[in-house]
Amino acid sequence: MLSFRLDNSQQRSWPDYLAERAAVAHDPRLQRFFSTGCPAPDTPIGEAPLLALDMETTGLDANRHAIVSIGLVPFTLQRITPGASRYWVLKPPRPLTESSIAYHHITHSEIDRAPDLSDIAEELLEAMAGRLIVAHYYRLERSFLDSAFEARLGEGLRFPMLDTMVLEAKRYRHSWRARLASWVGKPQASIRLQDSRDRYGLPAYTSHHALTDALATAELLQAQIAYHHSPQTPIGSLWV
Amino acid sequence: MSVELQEVREHMGRHAPFDTLSDELLDEVASNIEVAYFKAGTDIHHYGQTISELCYIRQGAVDVYRRNGELYSRRGEGEIFGQFSLLRDNLVRFPSQAIEDTLLYYIPAEVFRRLCEEDDNFADFVELERPRLEATVDKYRRNNDMMITRVRKLVTRRPVMIEASASVQQAAQRMREENVTSALIYEASTSVDESQARYTFTDSQGRAWTLIGILTDVDFRNRVLAAGLAGNLPVIDIVSRPPRTIQSDESIHEAMLCMLRNNIHHLPVLHRRYPVGVLHLSDIVRYETNSSLYLVNNIFSQPSAKGLAQLSTDVRAAFVRMVSDGADSRMIGSALSTIGRSFTRRLLELAEEELGPPPVPYCFMALGSMARNEQVIVSDQDNALVLDDRFDAERHDDYFAALAQRVSDGLAACGYAYCKGNIMATNPRWRQPLSVWKRYFSEWIARPDPQALLDSSIFFDLDAVHGEETFVEQLQDLVAEQASQSPRFLAAMARNALNRKPPLGFFRGFVMENTGEHKNSINLKRRGTAPMVDLIRVHALACRSRAQNSFARLDDIAQTQLLPEGSGERIRYALEFISMVRIRHQALDIEEERDPDNNVEPENVSSEERHNLKDAFLVLSNAQKFLGFRYPMPRSR
């Protein structure tokens, strides 16, 4: 069973962590990324540049499985700009199994022509630099990016993230009301992406694709902030 | 285009006005949108704010308000707002608020302008009130001009074609099987004979044939039996040729002339050179029977009230026919009023034959829609009798009471329901000498009481139907003279004209009321045409117009400064549009064998009609506001 509790040990000093990494980084691309840093923790969420990130992987274990696609959609609390989105299909070091192909709608020939993560690392890091990354279930994105970079460049990649699933879990799993409900035997609210979106009147998208899910995540964050927080909420109180 | 934009594109492509955009323009829109979420209850646009984007509702619902807080419109999934500001100076005049959790797509102003420039349909859609309505009404009228009914409309089956080599008997057998009275005879085309070229056509397999002639029942009698010939004769020997033909896009009138000129009953119809059917004289007769002209003739030849009542189904047929021929509301209104007047006149003639000549002269007066020449298929009878001043109730009223009763009962039998407000000549109060009528009108005008006028506003549409027309003309003169001089009267009439307000428009499957309430259907007469007619009447009275028809009244009003620039035209288009929606729904009711009424359910209103109706309601609502302001109640003395 996965736990969605906050990892307090890391929350303490993301800017410090990024600064340390900038100081010791060997790879110039990573060095640039870390030294750009992230918005300060007291930045109101309403003023922070945000970037929704979703990836598809061949499985759930970052040590055994690989990333096959990454989608990025830049946004702010006021506007999402799908026209500026980015998307890459990646060639995993290990060949795809048939079952994961069916799930991802990505074909062998697409994968065969695709670049390795190291080929797009510069573009990817540039697109992410200076923005607060938003994902639904950050642990997957964080562990896969970290180990993929570690494997290729000998240096990992970690940064603060906003997790719409964590925000949803706080409200619907860990609040005293939710605990009470679960204690009297009510079924737990689902915090999967579309189930969460339903609670805010957001539409169901037909395709399951890193880009649609990134867009869906961006919309969900706007809704969560509108309902449970405010544009003044400092990002340091939300990130993980 | 990336996947998430395809989702956007797919959604927009299903909603007007994006559904008719070219793929290229739709791609452009989808690639440039931005997205934002609004929790229920949050403001989207504030009054006076500058905006630079059109808003498209992906999910949720948005209320748009007037500055004074009144609800202006409720928009749902797939609808847009903000276009009015973009078309002017980008300043928000209609603030908006999400009333459900709402996901919006923003379309940048540059893209919006490009759509307006490159797609006429889009431009028409987003333009304010008048241009969109105007475009629709004009489009309808243009179609109407082209729709001088064409021959092809009467062709109901393909022609029976028989090869020239068949025997007379085989031809007869084939015609029996197909149950037709005529067949076209053709043979393979061999020579390139110039004289035959106009009868040469190619079938679907690419073979060339020549139409030789037509064979009819009469030919079997006259050319075979009467001539003592046998059935094994080749059919080519008895065929009438060359055939007289007509093109499928010629008018029915032309077909009729061709038959009369050549003394034939069957006429092959060709599309270019390909035979598509055979027109029989009876097809034309049947068609003409449904025309209103024929109907009026028929009314005057009926010997009894009973005979007249039997014509009521013909009235419905003529009505449906006019609608499908593309007549406009003024033509239909005037044709149906002519029919109504004809019934009334014929009933009066019949009553006079029975009761004897009237003891004093009278005029039978039509009120309301018949007087305005705006009758539709669902109509009450509203009438009165204006009698000569020599009228003596003791001696004469029995006669006129009987006369009125006969007419009223006769009209009811013909489908004109009794007036619920009892405004009929059968009511002694409305069966009075001219001098009393003059007093009635002078009283109404000089001492207007809004409550009393509520019941009598119908008397301010008045016209003579039968008898001494000068009686009613004198009343019309009196009204035109006195009404314009009485601000109190005009104010009272104006106040009454504001009693029935239009709805806002439609939202999902409902009619939206100004209060935010939803209804399942709308009475287009009560909420549309009637209030429009009411307000036109007030302006017409103010400018001493003697016209009774609303469009004619608008012509008179246009000669004055009563209405702001362009407003009269807007009202004209709005009235025409609402009238036609009402009329088309009634025709549909008749065709689907329901009782026609004035109620229209949103699910039967096409998306284009919805938008135009909404515009028309807005025109009406604005015109009502102006009316209240233009004719204020003077302070009491």
What are the residue boundaries of the structural domains of chain A, listed by start?
9-237
Whether B101 sits inside 8 A of A202 (CB atoms) is yes
How close is the nearest chain B Cα to the Cα of A69, in Å?
Answer: 13
CA trace torsion A23, A25, A27, A32 (10° rounding): -40
Residue A81 has pLDDT above 50, yes or no: yes
Mark yes or no for CB contact A81/B38 under 8 Å: no
B4 contacts on A by Cβ (under 8 Å): 71, 73, 82, 85, 205, 209, 211-212, 214-215
The strand pairing partners of A44, in sequence order, are A234
| Cβ(B459)–Cβ(B438) below 8 Å | no
- In 3D space, the residue among B292, B346, B341, B293 whose CA is nearest the CA of residue B317 turns out to be B292
Q: Identify the pLDDT of residue A9.
A: 46
The reported pLDDT for the residue numbered A67 is 92
Interchain contact B34–A (C-beta under 8 A): yes
A199 touches A190 (CB < 8 A): no
> Which site among A200, A221, A224 would you substitute to test the B interface, given the most B Cβ atoms closer than 10 Å to its Cβ?
A200
Mean pLDDT for A84-112 is 73
Predicted pLDDT at A148:
94
pLDDT for A7 beyond 60 = no
CA dist B215 and B39 (Å) reads 76
Task: Specify the CATH number of the domain B495-630.
Answer: 1.20.120
- What CA–CA distances, in Å, run from B547 to B452, B476, B536, B537? 24, 9, 11, 9
Q: Residue B526 gets which letter from DSSP?
A: I
SS3 content of chain B, % helix, strand, coil (to 5): 50, 20, 30
In a mutational test of the B interface, the residue from A45, A53, A79 whose CB has the highest number of chain B CBs within 10 Å is A79
The 10s digit of each residue's pLDDT in B539-562 is 999 999 999 999 999 999 999 999
- Identify the architecture of domain A9-237 in CATH: 2-Layer Sandwich (3.30)
Count CB neighbours of B262 within 10 A.
10
Tell me the three state secondary structure of residue B612.
Answer: helix
Return the pLDDT at A209.
87
A73 with B4: Cβ contact below 8 A: yes
- Cβ-Cβ contacts under 8 Å, A202 against chain B: 37, 59, 101, 103
Beta bridge partners of B211: B186
Do the Cβ atoms of B103 and A207 come within 8 Å? Answer: no
Among B residues 449-478, those touching chain A with beta carbons less than 8 Å apart: none
CA B551 to CA B572: how far, in whole Å? Answer: 7
Q: What is the 3-state secondary structure (H, E, C) of A84-142?
A: HCEEEECCCCCCCCHHHHHHHCCCHHHHHHCCCHHHHHHHHHHHHCCCEEEECCHHHHH
Instruction: Decide if A204 touches B, using CB distance below 8 A.
Output: no
Q: Which residues contact A65 (CB under 8 A, 6 or more apart)?
A: A57, A58, A59, A92, A144
Rounded mean pLDDT of chain B? 88
pLDDT at site B98: 94
- What does the pLDDT look like over A170-208, one tens digit per residue? 888 777 777 777 777 777 788 899 999 999 999 998 767
Q: Element (H or E) spanning B106, and its range?
A: strand B102-108
DSSP string, B213-270: EEEEHHHIIIIIITTT--TTSBGGGG-B-SPP-EETTSBHHHHHHHHHHHT-SEEEEE
Which residues of chain B make contact with A87, given a CB cutoff of 8 A?
2-3
Phi then psi for A60, rounded to 5 degrees?
-105, -10
Q: Grade residue B512 by pLDDT with cuts at 50, 70 and 90.
A: confident
Residues of chain B positioned with their CB less than 8 A from the CB of A193: none
CATH number of B291-440+459-473: 3.30.460.10
Residues in A 16-75 with any Cβ partner in B closer than 8 A:
71, 73, 75
CATH superfamily of B151-287: CBS-domain (3.10.580.10)
State the count of interchain CB pairs (< 8 A) between A and B.
79
Q: Does A194 touch chain B (CB under 8 A)?
A: no
pLDDT band at A2 (very low <50, low <70, confident <90, very high): very low
Flag whether pLDDT at B637 surpasses 60.
no
Tell me which residue of A129, A159, A181, A140 sits closest to A4, measured CA to CA.
Answer: A140
| Nearest Cβ partner for B4 among A79, A212, A227 | A212
All residues of chain B having their beta carbon less than 8 Å from the beta carbon of residue A200 are: 37, 39, 101
Compute the distance between CA of residue B225 and CA of residue B228 in angstroms, rounded to an integer.
5
Task: Select the highest-mean-pLDDT range: A107-111, B279-283, B341-345.
Answer: B341-345
CA B172 to chain centre: 47
Mean pLDDT of the region B172-199 = 83
Residue B28 in contact with partner chain A when CB distance is under 8 A: no
- Name which of A59, A123, A126 is nearest A94 in CA terms: A59
CA-based angle B569:B128:B502, to the nearest 5?
70
Tokens matching residue B335: 């044709």
Q: What is the pLDDT of residue A98?
A: 55
> Residue B130: which pLDDT band, with cuts at 50, 70 and 90?
very low
Sorted by where each begins, the domain ranges of chain B are 3-127, 151-287, 291-440+459-473, 495-630
Mean pLDDT across A63-77: 93
Flag whether residue A83 sits within 8 Å of chain B, measured between CB atoms.
yes
Q: Using one digit for the tens of pLDDT, what is the confidence trace for B445-460?
A: 998 887 778 878 889 9
Q: At what angle do helices B530-542 and B469-483 cross, to 10 degrees?
A: 80
A8 touching B (Cβ < 8 Å): no
pLDDT above 60 for A4:
no
Q: What is the mean pLDDT of chain A?
A: 87
Q: B255 or A123: which carries more pLDDT confidence?
A: A123
Cross-chain Cβ contact B8/A207 below 8 Å = no
B21-55: pLDDT as tens digits:
888 899 999 999 999 999 999 999 999 999 999 99
- ipTM of the prediction: 0.86
Contact A82 B60 (CB under 8 A): no
Has residue B584 got a pLDDT over 50? yes
HEC string of chain A? CCCCCCCHHHHCCHHHHHHHHHHHCCCHHHHHHHHHCCCCCCCEHHHCCEEEEEEEECCCCCCCCCEEEEEEEEECCCCECHHHCEEEECCCCCCCCHHHHHHHCCCHHHHHHCCCHHHHHHHHHHHHCCCEEEECCHHHHHHHHHHHHHHHHCCCCCCCEEEHHHHHHHHHCCCHHHHHHHHCCCCCCCCCHHHHHHHCCCCCCCCCCHHHHHHHHHHHHHHHHHHHCCCCCEHHHCCC
Q: What is the pLDDT of residue B450?
A: 79
Residues of B within 8 A of A81 (CB-CB) are 34-35
Q: Using a CB–CB cutoff of 8 Å, tell me whether B168 touches chain A.
A: no
Domain B3-127 architecture = Sandwich (2.60)
Tokens (6 digits) for B598: 């004035």
* pLDDT tens sequence across A134-166: 999 999 999 999 999 999 999 999 999 999 999
Tokens of B81: 């707002």
Which of residues 115 through 144 in chain A touch B, CB cutoff 8 A?
none
CA distance B34 to chain A (A): 5
The amino acid at A176: W
Asked if the model's pLDDT at residue B65 lies above 80, the reply is yes
Is there a cis peptide before residue B95, judged by omega within 30 degrees of 0? Answer: no
From chain A, pick out residues whose CB is under 8 angstroms from the CB of B103: 201-203, 219
Q: Which of B33, B34, B103 sits opposite A203 (nearest CB)?
A: B103
pLDDT (mean) for B139-149: 51
